[in-house]
Structure formats: structure tokens, C-alpha cells
Structure 1
Amino acid sequence: MSFLQEPKLSKYDRDPALASPLAAAVTTEDRETIAQVAAALKDRRMRLAFQPVVYAADPSIIGFFEGFIRLLNLRDQVIPARDFMGAVEQTELGREIDCAALRMGLMALQRNPQIRVSINLSARSVGYQPWIGILRKALRDHPRLGQNLILEINEASALQVPDVLAPFMADMRGHGIVFALDDFAAGMTSLRLLRDLRFEIAKIDGDLVKHVDTSGEAQVVVRAAIALAQEVGMYVTAEAVETEGEANWLLAEGVGCLQGYLFGPPTVTPDFRAFRHGRPSLSGAAG
């Protein structure tokens, strides 16, 4: 099955390549941005910003926090992810970004064992030894840590290396780790991918959520995405929720968790005390 959407490579608002006389200048600017990113990683000028993902039926209950990496330039300003993520996602620099995000997410869990955190990664990082080494060491040193960790993999990335993902996911589920399929329904949704990898959570792409309460076209696509996710046993969440109307429509359609600026922006100073137990079961995987 496929939805009538163009495939999207990532969640970072990537622009198509420019076919114009400005292309060379843009390429130079990209190189400068990538150099800033590499320097930020080397100098550890980075933070993890956390955004709450709340229970749709009771937004006062936080299901988990999603961690977003923030890389800083020499002026301590955030380098926008959309400016570099598309260019580095399939390179070693992309793997290093995933390592940094994972390391900071695991540290947050170690310091706050009462919370639950999701961390984004490219499926290619699963085969990157430094990344897998960070995860395995943390699980050895803190055996219960996996029960509060969610790993988010975007749909386009998962389609690239399903044969690598499948044994990794099976292994990590033994440690209690839950997997979320990010950007769900953004492009080509593979039934074989859903069958073979069996993600516990489907995160409906934010572009589809915008104005879903008033757009009949958006409602058709989102209803289909919800039905497909539920049919294969995935717990449904929606991202980029910005209005009460969107939130109410998604709740009525059976979405379990909501994420977006309506409930709080990503912040590097989260109040983890707001996390409460009694959170919804993510396909039986919640602690």
C-alpha cells in the first residue's frame, strides 16, 4: 500500500537541489555549514532538547520525551538541523551526530530513571560500531535502562536497510527497548516493512497533521494511516500538533499520544518532574 505523497527523506524540511547559477554558492554555504557541524561535534558544543509527548485523552500525562540534538556554532547559536541534516544523514558525520544524540539521551535516562526518552537515529547507524558500542555498554552498565528507551527511525531510512534492522531490533527488544517508526505515512509505506520489523509505535508525519481538523483531504490520508497502524498492532502518535482543533480531531480518531508546540516546545531545560507514572501502554511496552 502507498499513500499519494512523495517520499520524504527526513523530517528536517529538506529543499530540493537548486538547478540554477546560485547552485555553486549554495554548495559553498553547505560546505561551511557542514564544517561548523563537524567542529561542534569535535568541541562537544551540543545539547539535547526534550519535547513532551502527551497522552491524547489527558495531556497532563507525559508518555515520553523526544530528544532533539542541538549543535552550536562558535557564538553558541543553534545550527538549524534543516541546514545540514539532509547533507550528512548518509555520511559518517551523520553517524557521529547519532552517537552524540544517543550518548546524551542515555545520560539523561541515567540521571532521571523515572522518565522515558526517545532518540532519533538513521537506520544506517545500527551498523556503525561506535554507535552500537555506546548502546551496548550502557545496557551492560545499567541493565534496566532499556525499559525506558525508545529508538525512533524514520520510514525512508528503515526502508534502506531492513535486513540489518530486523536482527538488531529483535536483540534490543530483549532489553526492553521500544521502536517507533517516524514520519509514518509521509511517503511510501511498505506493508512488508511493517510486517517484518513490527515497530511498536507509529508516529504520523507532522505535515499530514497540519489543519487535519478542517482539511478533508488530510483527513482521508490520516484516517488511512491510523487504520493501517492499528491493523498491524502499532500504537499511534501524531507529531507537530499545534491547535486544539487538531488535537481533538486526532483524539476522536483513536490517536493515543500527541506531540507539538501545543503541549510544549523542545527545551534544553526540561522539567522532568512533570513526568508522571500511569502513562499509556505503548503496545504493552510501557514500564
Structure 2
Amino acid sequence: MSYMKGPRVSKFDRDPLVSSPLNAAISAQDRETLSMVAAALKDGRMRLAFQPVVYAADSSIIGFFEGFIRLLNLRDQVIPARDFMPTVEERQLGREIDCAALQLGLLAMQRNPQIRVSINMSARSVGYRPWSDILRRALQEAPRLGANLILEINEASAMQVPDVLKPFMTEMREYGIVFALDDFGAGMTSLRTLQELSFEIAKIDGSLIKHIDRLPDAQGATKAAIAIAQELGMYVVAESVETEGEANWLRQAGVGCLQGYLFGPPTVTPDFRAFRHGRPNLKAS
């Protein structure tokens, strides 16, 4: 008896998760990234790099420092965030990274009570118990930390869970914490939702800033973003400022603070003595 054999089915056809050699390679790369990040967190190979955010009117005065999480490989070399954040930000590892960043930021503030620090977080971390426990425990032990803490949430993340975010922001404001909307102007945002959340700071997305002094089209978009932020009562910060030309244009456009390599790169060994108690009036409209 003979049997007719059907067409040969490869593993890429059988498994929808690896439906092509390209997808298989990407999946393998993601698994490697997740393993690398998990090992770094488990071993405590992480640092916070701090970048100054300066007044536009007087760049010698630092308004606050932004803390950026840095993971280290086994040779203590920094793993760039772009190599792992896109893979982990929607997973539990993303929440664990938020926990690490918050712990390191709070520790730096406890050791240097004169500084003001902003820490990045995902809106999803609001509902992650370990993250909220770290924050609430620190505020219970040292309530004054809240007055010097800024929590940064990017625009896309904030729009995902506004109903969860709003009561959390209201609660944390009782401790003096303020909130920054990161990457503002990068995407389509519900202005009504923004108005309800009432962020104190809008950080104009760096993609709008590059060569802003020489690109009329970009100038129009940036002026519009600044105008919307100000209309909503947000203090405006511009990110990724790299040249004096960009800085001068942004000053004239009404930006309150500037951040970028022109004023200093993120560093794991910051000189916090340079902080001169600059405090932007974040409540001003």
C-alpha cells in the first residue's frame, strides 16, 4: 500500500510565532535581550545617569536633574537603553526597570537632599505593586522627598491608562510630587485627557528640536506644541538641545528650561554641588 505524501511543512509554517526566518531571528534576539536585562537586574548591575536641566534665561542655574537608567553588562560596560527598552517596556521587566530607576533616584535624593530629580516611569507601573510600594514607603519615611521629585511619563504611555493615572497623580500631589509629560508633540494626543491629567511640565520631544533654528517647518510645529502646553498651564522644557542656535531660538519661543548635550551629558558621576537650588515655578501658567 502506498501513501501520498503532502507537501513538506517547515517549522516556520507550523509555528505562527516563527512564521518566517526573519521572525525567528527577531524572536531569538528578543529572548537574548530579555535574558540580558533580567540578569543585569538580578545582579544589581544598574546605575542612574543624571543630566542637568537648566534655565533657558540663565543656563548656569540647574532647575533639576533627570535620571536615566543604565544597565551594565558583565564587563561593566553600559548597555544603551535603545538596545533593550523597546523589547521590555510592555513586559514585567519594564516595570522592574522602573522599580530600579525609582530606587536609585530616591537614594540619590536621600544622600543629596538639596537636589531636585526627575525619574522616568511607565503609566503601567502605577498598578505594579512593587513600584508603588517603593514610592509610598519612601514618602512615609521621608515625606519631604516628594517636594523634590518629578515623575516623567511619556505621552504615549499616559494616554493608555488615564483612568488609572489620574487618581494616582492626585494622591501624589499631596506629597508635593509634580508630573512631567515626556515626548510632548511626538504623537496624537487627546487634549481633553491632557487637561484632565493636568501635568505640570511638558517636555517637547527631541525630534522637533534638532536644527530648530534652521527649519521653518519644524518651527511651526514646535511653536504650536509650546502654545498648547502653555494654554494647558504646563511649564515648558525642551529636550535634546545640542547647539547654541537651537538654544537661542527656544529661548525666544518662550521655553522655560533646556536639556541636552549642550549643557552636559547624562553621567553616573554627577557633581551635585553644581545645583544652585533653581526651582522653576511649575505652577505658573
Q: Map of 1:178-193 to 2, 5 A cutoff?
A: 178-193=178-193
Equivalent-residue separation in structure 2 for 1:258 and 1:243 (angstroms): 11
| Aligned-pair CA distance for 1:21 | 4.5
Alignment-derived partner of residue 198 in structure 2: 198
Alignment-derived partner of residue 107 in structure 1: 107
| Aligned-pair CA distance for 1:284 | 5.2
- Secondary structure at the aligned position of 2:114 is classed as coil
2:230/2:236 contact within 8 Å kept = yes
- Secondary structure at the aligned position of 2:214 is classed as coil
Equivalent-residue separation in structure 2 for 1:221 and 1:282 (angstroms): 23
Alignment-derived partner of residue 32 in structure 1: 32
- Secondary structure at the aligned position of 1:144 is classed as helix
Equivalent-residue separation in structure 1 for 2:215 and 2:20 (angstroms): 35
Residues 20 and 52 of structure 1: CA distance in aligned 2, closer, same or farther (over 3 Å): farther
Alignment-derived partner of residue 138 in structure 2: 138
Q: Does 1:64 align with 2:64?
A: yes
Equivalent-residue separation in structure 1 for 2:31 and 2:78 (angstroms): 17
How big is the alpha-carbon RMSD for the aligned residues of Structure 1 and Structure 2?
Answer: 1.4
Give a deviation string over 1:49-93, Cα, whole Å, max 9, x none: 000000001000000000000001111111121111111111110
Q: Map of 1:119-198 to 2, 5 A cutoff?
A: 119-198=119-198
Aligned pair count reads 267
Q: Does 1:225 align with 2:222?
A: no
Equivalent-residue separation in structure 2 for 1:223 and 1:20 (angstroms): 45
Q: Does 1:253 align with 2:275?
A: no
- Secondary structure at the aligned position of 2:153 is classed as strand
Amino acid at match of 1:110: Q
| Aligned-pair CA distance for 1:280 | 2.5
Which structure has the bigger radius of gyration?
2
Runs of 5+ consecutive residues of structure 1 not aligned to the other structure:
1-18
Amino acid at match of 1:87: T
Alignment-derived partner of residue 6 in structure 2: none
Q: Does 1:240 align with 2:275?
A: no
Equivalent-residue separation in structure 1 for 2:43 and 2:21 (angstroms): 35
Amino acid at match of 2:50: F
Give a deviation string over 1:140-180, Cα, whole Å, max 9, x none: 00010000000000000000000000000000000000000
2:152/2:180 contact within 8 Å kept = yes
Alignment-derived partner of residue 11 in structure 1: none
| Aligned-pair CA distance for 1:20 | 7.6
2:117/2:149 contact within 8 Å kept = yes
Equivalent-residue separation in structure 2 for 1:66 and 1:152 (angstroms): 9
Equivalent-residue separation in structure 2 for 1:224 and 1:212 (angstroms): 13
Amino acid at match of 1:218: A
Equivalent-residue separation in structure 2 for 1:271 and 1:284 (angstroms): 29
- Secondary structure at the aligned position of 1:176 is classed as coil
| Aligned-pair CA distance for 1:228 | 0.2
TM-score (norm 1): 0.91
Q: Does 1:281 align with 2:260?
A: no
Residues 20 and 230 of structure 1: CA distance in aligned 2, closer, same or farther (over 3 Å): farther
| Aligned-pair CA distance for 1:278 | 4.1
Larger RCO: 1 or 2 (CA < 8 Å, sep 6+): 1
- Secondary structure at the aligned position of 2:64 is classed as strand
TM-score (norm 2): 0.91
2:62/2:278 contact within 8 Å kept = no
Moved more, 259-268 or 273-282: 273-282
- Secondary structure at the aligned position of 1:58 is classed as coil
Runs of 5+ consecutive residues of structure 2 not aligned to the other structure:
1-18
Equivalent-residue separation in structure 2 for 1:26 and 1:165 (angstroms): 33
Give a deviation string over 1:15-68, Cα, whole Å, max 9, x none: xxxx98434223312211221110000010000000000000100000000000
